Every structure is written in C-alpha cells, then in structure tokens.
Amino acid sequence: MSTAYDDSGRTASAGSAWRASIGQERHWAYQTRFPESASFNVPIAVLLRGPVDLGVLERALREVATRHESLRASFGEAAGRLTARLHDPGDVPVFRHDLRRLPEDERIGRLRQLGSEEAARPFDLRAETTTRAHLVSLAADETVMIVNFHHIAFDGWSSPVFFDDLEERYGALLSGAPDRPAPAHRYVDFAVWQRRRIERGQHDAQLDHWRQRLADPPGPLPWPEGGRDPEASWWGGDMAWLGLPQSLIQEAQQAARACGTSFFVLGLAVYQLALRRLTGCDHLAVGTPFAGRTDPRWRDVVGFFVNTLVMPYVFRPEVPVGRLVEDTHRLVMAAHDNQDIPYGVLLDALAPPMEPERTPYFQTMFILQNTPAPTRSLATATLATNKLVTGSARYDITFSLGWRRGELCLELENRPRLVGQDVAIELARTFFGLLAAAIADLTTPVGKLEPLAVPLVVHRRGDLKPGTDGLFRGIIGDWRGLA
C-alpha cells in the first residue's frame, strides 16, 4: 500500500491528509482567487517515435504517481490549514485518443486542439489530482503524450526526475523487472522540515538579510502603454519565441567566464539595464527562481520546491559594465546563500507596499535554463519533450532563456492587459543589443551603453510548421476561449 505522512512525521495510509507547504499555500491562494486562470499549469507534450505500448505507458505513469505523492494529491482547507489529500493512482485521469484513421491535416488539427485545450484548462485543486494526461495515437510509430501538472506539485527540477522515473518504470514493466524501492524521502517530509526550521528561527538571519536588501522597495514598473488589450482577463497571457544568433551567446558565455562569473549573472545585469532603458525607472527589481533544494534529500523528489528571489537594482550611470557585472555577481551569490526563506514568508514579515494584482517588489521574471535537455527514450521509441503554452501569464513579462534542439532561444511571455507583445519584443531586442555592446567593451559606463544591431527571428502565436515536428512551439492555450 502506498503511504503518506501526516505533519507529525508518522506514516499513514493512502487517503490521509497532511499540511501543505508554504509555497503550496501561495499557489492555492492564487488559484482560488482566479479559478479560470491556467497561469500555474505546467503542460508538456511528448512526441514518441517508434513502437509504444499504451497500456504499459499508462501503468508507468500511474506508478510514477505512486512514487511521487504530490502528483496524485488534491487540496482543501480544514481548521484554517491547507491540506493535501492523497488519491489512489487510478484517480489520475489518463485519456486516450486514436487519431490514426484521420487524414494527416485533420490529425494535426485535432492534436493542436487537444494540446491547446488541455494547456488552457485550469485545475480544480479541490476536486482533481494535480496531474492529467492524454495519450494520442497518430500512427503506428508515432504517439503523443500530453501531460499537465499544476505548479503546486511540480517545478522545473521535477521534470527530469519525472521523466527519468517514467523511462525506468516503462522499461521495467516491459521486461518484468521488479519494482524499485520507494524513495527514501517524500515531498511531505520537505513541507514538515521547512516549517519546523522557520518555527525554530533557523532562517532568521536570512530574513534579516532580505529586510536590509529590500528596505527601500521599488514601485511597480510603468510599462509603455502601446499595444495593451483592455479586454484581456487579468491573468491572460501571450507568447513569442525568439531565435538568437548563437555566436553572440558563445561570446557572452566567454565574457562571463572572463569576469569570473556565469552567463546568468551577466544576463541579469544586462536585463536590468534593458528594463531601465524601456521604463525609465532608475530603481527597479527583477524576480528569478532558485531551485530551493539546498538539502540533498530533496534532489530526487517531484514537488514544488522552487523559491522566487528578488534582485533589486539602482541605476548608476557612471558605473562601468564590468563593475555592474561584479556587483550583480555579489548580489546573486548573497541571494543564493539566503534562498531558504520562502517568498511568502518574506512578504508576510516585511509587508511591502502592494498594488492590486501586481506582484510585490517585482513584475518581471528573468530565467535561464542553462542545461540542454538530455536525450531520452522509452524502450525503442525516441522521446522529445516540448512545453505547451497555457494562454495565461504569471507575471507582466517573463523572459525565459532555454535550450531547444541545441540552440539557446528566448520564450517571451507577456500579460496583454498591461504589456503589449510588441513592447515585450522591444525589451528583448534592447536586451540583446545591450548584451552585444556590453561584451564588446566592459569598460563602457552603463549610462553611455548603446545597443548594437542584433538579428533576431521572432515567432508569434500561430506561426506553425506542418507536421508534428514543428507543431508544439505554436500550440498555445487561449484565455479568450475561456472568457
């Protein structure tokens, strides 16, 4: 029998409840406030080429959900606490679709519909598990799995853990290999551990660090007004994808190493300058996610561990670019050393000024996924994953650099009600222009840094290629369909 743990640490049978983590409480509060939003959906499309046994794949999915309890939980409030309720793995919905007899263009159209509708469909966290899946048969040797997680149970680090386990369980079921032992640690262990550390004051020094760092909080960013959609829902989102000259990325990586830092630090420094140039704000802040798995016990656990950290910035025009990079390096390292205090606890303790529906301290996220996805398979079938787009936005602008087919690309999400997509693309062009100028001469004062011309390839909603290979980048859920 699968087991869970109550918040005293004792084992309990499936069907029991335990107290949710602090980060999960924030996701719950958002989802209950905006029940039609898919902002915190994490939909992934998996293209499988080669023979696939759908019965075995479904069993493997359920066995992974057995191993990682957060994937088969729903949530509810009891006695003033948010609790996670464990479901049987059979409660995780897995839908099958056989499109093999349809003409090719109809197959692709139906697949696009399935993907966009699933990506945009919000989770009812009270009534359903945090995982949904669709298995779509396209041809004898072509299958698509669409698996959707709520962020309350799944973060970026969880993805390779999930797919490693899925690959292992699928192969083991085919070969008749015995079950692996259950993971030594569960997400509920983390939730209990985190609360106990905070209750015992073990993060007080980290709280003091952030109290000092954020003593003078910046106001909300005043985005240019052009291109806004006043009819958009508050949580509605749009997406563009930008192809980048890889030579610029390589040169930037080399420049970062020469400065004794990482490409993430260099990128964050330049992103601050691009924001200042676009908005005119000399005092601003950027959010960025840190993995939150500082204890090795949590490295092989699926769940929501990630913590959002605030990176404040004050524009000083006389500072050379190289000095800005050094200052940003120190800022990031200090944030890394103080990353355990949850963002929600920080807000409760510091009580910053708030504007309705705007994120306190920052309104834009800078993300760098700097590790290419590994090559995967399910037995003899090759496996390629692509993120689907929910049609909802978590922040005003999310600027996310990541690897796709061996190249670093930009996913650029905007909230149309506050930021037009052309404004977001202008920010991206400014960023890469300033990046090129910065690495050309690190001694230039930032107040005199002018962006260089950088060729970018912009793909917007609906820019689809024929066939399944180019399909998923263009699949985007649409908030308009839910209004």
The CATH number for 178's domain is 3.30.559.10
pLDDT at 401 over 60: yes
Place of tokens 């299958």: 143
The pLDDT of residue 403: 86
Is residue 315 within 8 Å of 218, Cβ to Cβ? no
Roughly how many angstroms between the first and final C-alpha of the chain, as a whole number? Answer: 43
Answer whether residue 378 shows pLDDT above 60: yes
How much is the pTM?
0.92
End-of-domain residue from the set 158, 191, 224: 191
Asked, for residue 196, whether it belongs to a domain, the answer is no
Q: How many domains does the chain have?
A: 2
Distance CA 144, CA 115 (A): 10
Last residue of a domain, which of 135, 165, 191? 191
Q: Note the pLDDT of residue 90.
A: 95
Q: Tens of pLDDT along 332-353?
A: 999 999 999 999 999 999 999 9
Residue 1's pLDDT is 30
| 268 in a structural domain | yes
Q: Please check whether residue 417 is in contact with residue 429, taking contact to mean a CB–CB distance below 8 angstroms.
A: no
Burial class of residue 28, CB neighbours in 10 A (0-12, 13-18, 19+) = buried
Confidence (pLDDT) at 465: 57
* Residue where a domain stops, chosen among 191, 214, 229: 191
Amino acid at 26: R
Is the domain of 161 the same as that of 254? Answer: no
pLDDT computed for residue 189 by the predictor = 95
Residues 178 and 211 in one domain: no
Share of the chain above pLDDT 70, in %: 92
405 or 227: whose pLDDT is higher? 227
Reported as a pLDDT band with limits 50, 70 and 90, residue 181 is confident
More confident position, 321 or 384 = 321
In a domain, 24, yes or no: yes
62 and 163 assigned to the same domain: yes
What CATH number is given to the structural domain containing 426?
3.30.559.30
Residues 319 and 364 in one domain: yes
Residue 433 buriedness (CB in 10 A; 0-12 / 13-18 / 19+): buried
Is 266 part of any domain? yes
280 Rama sector, left if φ>0, alpha if ψ -120 to 50, beta otherwise:
left
Tell me, what's the pLDDT at 475? Answer: 54
Cα–Cα distance, 304 to 92 (Å, whole number): 18
Q: How confident is residue 389, by pLDDT bands cut at 50, 70 and 90?
A: confident
> Is 208 found in the same domain as 106?
no
| pLDDT recorded at residue 264 | 97
**Domain coverage including residue 353:** 201-381+388-482
Which two three-digit tokens encode residue 466?
Answer: 């024929």
**Percent of all residues in the chain with a pLDDT value above 90, rounded to a whole number:** 81
Q: What pLDDT score does 385 carry? A: 84
Residues 143 and 290 in one domain: no
Is the distance from CB of 382 to CB of 48 less than 8 angstroms? yes
Please tell me whether residues 348 and 313 are part of one structural domain. yes
Q: pLDDT tens-digit profile of 440-453?
A: 999 999 999 999 99
Say how many residues make up the chain: 483
Is the pLDDT confidence value at 482 over 70? no
Question: What integer pLDDT is reported at residue 80 of this predicted model?
Answer: 86
